[in-house]
Amino acid sequence: MLRVFKRLFRYDKRFRFGFSILTLFIMIALISLFSPYNMKAWNTVPRDMASSLKYPLGTNSMGQDILWQAMVAIKNSLLLGLIAALISRIIAIVLGLLAGYKGGLFDRIVMTINDSFIIIPLFPVLILIASILRTSLSITVLGIIIGLFGWAWDARLFRSQILSLKEREFTKTAVLSGMKTYKIITSEHLPYIIPLIMAATINNVIWVIGMEVTLSMLGLSNLNTPTIGTMIYWALQYQAIFLEKWNWILTPIISCIVLILALYMLSTSISEYLDPRTRLQMIKGE
Amino acid sequence: MVFKKYIIPRFIQYITVLFIGITLVFIIPRLLPSDPVEHQLNRMTAQGQYLDPAAVEEMRETLQELYGLKGGLFQQYINYWKRLFTGNLGPSFTQFPTPVVELIKISLPWTLGLLLVSLMLSWVIGTMLGGIKVSFPNSILAKIMEVLAMGMRPIPYYIMALVLLIIFAFIFPVFPMAGGYSMGAKVGFNLRFILDLFRHAFLPIMSMVVLEIGGWFLQMRNVASNVVEEDYVVYAEASGLPKLKIIFRYIMRNAIIPQITGLALNLGFIFGGALITEIVFSYPGIGTLLYSAILAGDYNLILGINIFSIVGVSTAMLIIDLIYPLLDPRVRYQ
């Protein structure tokens, strides 16, 4: 695991970029815990200040410090992504591996249900849920709900990986030499699956962050909790575009884009690493 | 043989999707702690209307009837399906008594137009560029395209639409900020109106196309780079066939098949994206209808749009699946 990581860090500049930015964002999230203001409260600072030493990114029309608010928002969005990804991971891994290893009728039933969840447009369904729950949607509840719906793609991905691993020579060698099934899974197959799970998880976090931004823009989350989405929501509510308060509207947009690009670089870098041909190119190129 | 091995499983899948999706829409509101009827009543009293208790009780009855919340859970479920089969999604609450189906019908052409045009453009351009990238891996265009695709693909629809809106409708006001056509424009089949439609549709379509090209490009690149190494391509090259023929007839032709599967599988996601894009540009399609339903708390309309999108997307997917054998001879001659 650590070896893979070291090698990626050394040879792939996308991984280096993604990893550094993500580290930066995690640090921001940690620093935000020491925020001097209560971010749920309004009018803690003078309104509509331009950026200055005291308020590096200025303040917004609700009397909140934009820099600190953005930091707390990044923390909350990352947290939400983690909660949702964790829940959908558990479902995806259990279903994907079970279907892959068991095969037969079980596999077919699970995959039919799974494909249904891929086909069903999740966005309107999530809106339905959020519009009933509305303000009671805390970060945790929202994370759980998004997580309960975002597993289907990855369950399919994990299953197909297991199916191909099952057919590989080394699995057959291991079976013929009398290795126990769980031993094959843990020591032969797991090393292949873990990077895949990581790449898929990162992609899932990207999806969750995007979904949160979208739901918040519709006013369908707890709007008092600062997240990247609610920040954009309030900026738009106060007509930040028309009043040209760029510091307010662009801060969340740019941090969202940078965060998502960094995560995406990480995940493509890991998933390309899984393909031995590109791995070879990567090392040759150096 | 094709019928038994290919078409029947597709139909089973189709029916499963409909069953799961529609049941989900039935269960969700009943599982959640907040009651839509109470919610609606609270909204009414919160608006400051004085209602005497008897009237409230009566209204509760009516609302329960309307939402199909009467009787036991199983009875409700049966009634729910009965209503669906007759194409009755109930009335919209804020635009009472216009049926939900009617409202969806008005908005549908806009969404379909947006979706079809952006889907075709992005799919064709992305697929072609992916094929070109694999055929000429070292050309500058291919390299630029790769970087762009990587940078655009992960960005959420909403953010992309908002950024385009800020740049091209506000900072450089070349395109209108909102709507499907200019206010006061005469609706009719004439050049002026068509140009107006086009101008309004341009940014929403662009914002979807720019995002989706990246996805199709990357998928095509991955598949085609495997095809390039197949023996028949190597053989075609060795036998001195013209390069263009190799690219189109040998590489693209084979790599395009997974692209079609991808189209079917991504449909739900892209449909969601179209709704989001519409909301940002206030484009008068189903997305905007959904948004107005959310703002007004029109629960029945939200429910109706949900059911409609599940049926719509899965039917579109079934159609793509049924066309598939025409394009893939391996399925046809199985």
CB neighbourhood size of A58 (10 A): 20
Which residues of chain A make contact with B156, given a CB cutoff of 8 A? Answer: 209-211, 213-214, 256, 260
Amino acid in the structure at residue A16: R
Alpha-helical (H) ranges within chain B are: 2, 8-31, 36-46, 53-66, 73-85, 100-135, 140-152, 157-165, 191-227, 231-238, 243-245, 253-281, 286-296, 299-327, 329-332
What pLDDT, on a 0 to 100 scale, did the predictor assign at position A286?
41
Asked if B306 lies within 8 A of A128 by C-beta distance, the reply is: yes
Average pLDDT over residues B140-149: 86
Average pLDDT over residues B98-102: 86
Of A123, A211, A257, the CB nearest to B275: A123
What pLDDT, on a 0 to 100 scale, did the predictor assign at position A279?
62
Which residues of chain B make contact with A264, given a CB cutoff of 8 A? Answer: 150, 153-154
What pLDDT, on a 0 to 100 scale, did the predictor assign at position A256?
94
What pLDDT, on a 0 to 100 scale, did the predictor assign at position B328?
77
Nearest CA in chain A to B159: A253
What are the pLDDT digits (tens) for B287-317?
Answer: 999 999 888 878 888 889 999 999 999 999 8
What pLDDT, on a 0 to 100 scale, did the predictor assign at position B184?
67
Residue with tokens 């007839």: B249
Say which range, A14-28, A159-173, B150-164, B206-220, has the weakest mean pLDDT: A159-173
What tokens were used for B188? 């009719």
What is the rounded CA–CA span in Å between residue A196 and residue A165? 13
Contacts of B192 (CB under 8 A, 6+ apart): B185
Asked if B13 lies within 8 A of A112 by C-beta distance, the reply is: yes
Please determine, for residue B50, whether its predicted confidence score (pLDDT) is greater than 80: no
Interface test with A, best of B14, B94, B159, B211 (most A CBs within 10 A): B159
Contacts of B202 (CB under 8 A, 6+ apart): B175
pLDDT band at B49 (very low <50, low <70, confident <90, very high): low
What are the pLDDT digits (tens) for A21-64?
Answer: 999 999 999 998 887 777 777 777 777 777 777 777 778 777 78
Render the burial of B293-326: b for 16+ CB within 10 Å, e for the rest.
bbeebbbbbbbbbbbbbbebbbebbbebbeebbe
Whether ipTM > 0.90 holds is no
Asked if A123 lies within 8 A of B271 by C-beta distance, the reply is: yes
- Tally the residues of chain A: 286
What pLDDT, on a 0 to 100 scale, did the predictor assign at position B333?
64
Walk along chain A (286 residues) and give the pLDDT tens digit of each residue.
Answer: 677 778 778 778 888 999 999 999 999 999 988 877 777 777 777 777 777 777 777 787 777 888 888 999 999 999 999 999 999 999 999 999 888 888 889 998 999 899 889 888 989 999 988 888 876 778 899 999 999 998 999 999 899 888 888 888 888 888 888 888 888 888 888 878 888 888 899 999 999 999 999 999 888 888 888 899 999 999 988 888 888 888 888 999 999 999 999 999 999 888 887 776 666 665 554 4
What pLDDT, on a 0 to 100 scale, did the predictor assign at position B185?
66
What tokens were used for B133? 């990238």
Whose CA is closest to B27, among B92, B70, B74?
A: B74
Of A218, A220, A261, the CB nearest to B154: A261
Are the beta carbons of B204 and B114 closer than 8 angstroms? yes
Of A210, A218, A261, the CB nearest to B294: A218
pLDDT band at B225 (very low <50, low <70, confident <90, very high): confident
What pLDDT, on a 0 to 100 scale, did the predictor assign at position B31?
77
Which residues of chain A make contact with B166, given a CB cutoff of 8 A? Answer: 241, 249
Are the beta carbons of B252 and B124 closer than 8 angstroms? no
Of A133, A206, A242, the CB nearest to B32: A133
Question: A14-24+65-285: which CATH number, 3.40.50.2300, 3.30.70.2190, 1.10.3720.10, 3.90.550.10?
Answer: 1.10.3720.10
What are the pLDDT digits (tens) for A219-233?
Answer: 888 888 889 999 999
Interface test with B, best of A111, A115, A129, A132 (most B CBs within 10 A): A132
Asked if B156 lies within 8 A of A209 by C-beta distance, the reply is: yes
pLDDT band at B93 (very low <50, low <70, confident <90, very high): confident
Which residues of chain A make contact with B21, given a CB cutoff of 8 A? Answer: 116, 119-120, 125
